[in-house]
């Protein structure tokens, strides 16, 4: 909770400093992230284009690739995503730490993840917008383990420890195509590619001074594979209201250098936004995700060490409810924040459950 308060203080500072900047409304995601600049002008009169532009203010900051730009326009973004995990689930059933330690040498207790991200968008034509995202990753996982070796695993004596990792994540490149419009509705296609720039061969010194401890799958900075990132984005509006849908996925294109590949991931978002005026809006969003277990395995990992080292304990599904606010202090920029909690999750456990999610970002376009 202290870490969450710290993140909120940073967001508050961003809001204060953002009022000294200038440019035009934009948007950003997330898993996945960018800015809110619904540019439908090439198919509409000037006053209608301005109306579409204002509607973009109400799209949640967590929706990635939500908009396209006019030919020649640029947009730059800075954002941070965070999440907290804790407690253990097997499917939807709560699992105790001692139950996990009956089958594993270590049990995870909590985890914090932060992802700062830089983004740039450019539209060479009205029907094509290009986007590049450069993510950083930082993770810290607390766990407890048996003091002795595996043959004493029935002991209730445990020792707390922490794993940490950080660095560059997987860079993504996306083309947004189409920009089809009909009355108060818009549709475009997102075709993205994730590059395996995040390090997956990670280890840290062991507590007993023996060989370095290989990091489990969820502590690694990337997938290690080239991944397709397809999505379809629909938006609509009437008066101060706007809404949208975005189904998408992450398709793994092969096995990585450590002989495994993470499971495919499928997601869908639906949102409703309300614009109070030209500088303030709010949104409510439901986001569902479904992801599979890993195929293959890193031979250096012992599946009995910790559940997150077991490739059959990585899949799951989750439904999140998120509330967002967007501020436009000056034309050409947007400050957004969105946070929420899972309302349902079922995991191929035992796995740590997600407890909260938060994203904040600032975008400037010209």
258 domain-assigned:
yes
Q: What confidence score (pLDDT) does residue 261 get?
A: 97
Q: Per DSSP, what are the bridge partners of residue 234?
A: 187, 245
| Structure confidence by residue, pLDDT tens digits, 229-263 | 999 999 999 999 999 999 999 999 999 999 999 99
For the chain, how many structural domains are there in total?
A: 1
9 has a pLDDT exceeding 80: no
159 domain-assigned:
no
7 domain-assigned:
yes
309 domain-assigned:
yes
Q: What is the residue range of 229's domain?
A: 2-146+164-365
Would you call 71 helix, strand, or coil by DSSP? coil
Kindly indicate the confidence band of residue 48, based on its pLDDT and cuts at 50, 70 and 90.
very low
Kindly indicate the confidence band of residue 17, based on its pLDDT and cuts at 50, 70 and 90.
very low
23 domain-assigned:
yes
C-alpha span between 163 and 173 (Å, rounded): 30
| Structure confidence by residue, pLDDT tens digits, 273-311 | 999 999 999 999 999 999 999 999 999 999 999 999 999
168 domain-assigned:
yes
Q: Which H helix or E strand runs over 67? A: none
Contacts 24+ apart (CB under 8 A), 20-23: 21/329, 21/330, 21/333, 21/364, 22/330, 22/331, 22/332, 22/333, 23/330, 23/331, 23/332, 23/333, 23/364, 23/365, 23/366
Q: What confidence score (pLDDT) does residue 22 get?
A: 31
226 domain-assigned:
yes
152 domain-assigned:
no
Which DSSP state fits 97? H
For residue 5 the two structure tokens come to 């308060």
Q: What confidence score (pLDDT) does residue 164 get?
A: 94
- Which CATH number does the domain housing residue 332 bear? 2.40.160.40
34 has a pLDDT exceeding 60: no
For 120-156, letters b (16+ CB in 10 Å) and e give ebbbeebebbebebebbbbbbbebbbbeeeeeeeeee
Q: Per DSSP, what are the bridge partners of residue 113?
A: 83, 139
210 has a pLDDT exceeding 80: no
C-alpha span between 64 and 156 (Å, rounded): 45
| Structure confidence by residue, pLDDT tens digits, 115-146 | 999 999 999 999 999 999 999 999 999 999 87
Q: Per DSSP, what are the bridge partners of residue 205?
A: none
Does the reported pTM lie above 0.75? yes
Q: What confidence score (pLDDT) does residue 269 get?
A: 98
C-alpha span between 144 and 128 (Å, rounded): 50
| Structure confidence by residue, pLDDT tens digits, 51-100 | 344 445 689 999 999 989 999 999 999 999 999 999 999 999 999 999 99
């Amino acid at each position: 909770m202290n870490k969450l308060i710290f993140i909120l203080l940073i967001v508050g500072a961003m809001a204060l400093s953002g009022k000294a900047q200038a440019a035009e409304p934009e948007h950003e995601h997330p898993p996945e992230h960018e800015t809110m600049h619904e540019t439908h002008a090439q198919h509409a009169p000037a006053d209608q284009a301005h109306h579409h532009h204002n509607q973009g203010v109400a799209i949640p900051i967590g929706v990635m690739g939500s908009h396209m730009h006019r030919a020649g326009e640029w947009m730059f973004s800075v954002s941070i995503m965070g999440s907290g995990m804790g407690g253990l689930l097997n499917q939807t059933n709560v699992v105790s730490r001692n139950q996990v330690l009956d089958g594993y040498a270590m049990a995870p207790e909590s985890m914090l993840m932060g992802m700062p991200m830089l983004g740039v968008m450019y539209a060479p034509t009205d029907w094509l917008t290009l986007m590049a995202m450069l993510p950083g990753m930082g993770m810290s996982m607390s766990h407890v383990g048996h003091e002795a070796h595996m043959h004493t695993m029935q002991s209730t004596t445990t020792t707390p420890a922490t794993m940490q990792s950080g660095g560059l994540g997987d860079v993504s490149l996306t083309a947004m195509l189409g920009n089809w419009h009909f009355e108060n509705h818009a549709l475009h296609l997102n075709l993205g590619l994730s590059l395996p720039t995040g390090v997956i061969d990670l280890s840290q010194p062991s507590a007993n001074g023996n060989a370095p401890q290989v990091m489990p799958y969820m502590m690694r900075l990337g997938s290690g594979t080239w991944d397709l990132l397809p999505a379809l984005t629909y938006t609509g509006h009437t008066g101060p209201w706007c809404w949208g849908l975005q189904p998408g996925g992450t398709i793994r294109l092969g096995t990585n250098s450590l002989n495994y590949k993470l499971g495919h991931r499928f997601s869908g978002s639906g949102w409703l936004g309300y614009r109070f005026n030209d500088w303030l809006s709010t949104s409510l969003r439901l986001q569902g995700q479904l992801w599979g277990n890993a195929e293959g395995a890193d031979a250096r990992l012992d599946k009995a060490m910790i559940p997150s080292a077991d490739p059959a304990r990585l899949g799951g599904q989750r439904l999140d409810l998120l509330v967002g606010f967007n501020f436009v202090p000056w034309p050409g920029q947007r400050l957004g924040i969105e946070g929420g909690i899972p309302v349902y999750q079922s995991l191929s456990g035992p796995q740590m459950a997600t407890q909260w999610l938060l994203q904040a970002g600032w975008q400037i376009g010209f």
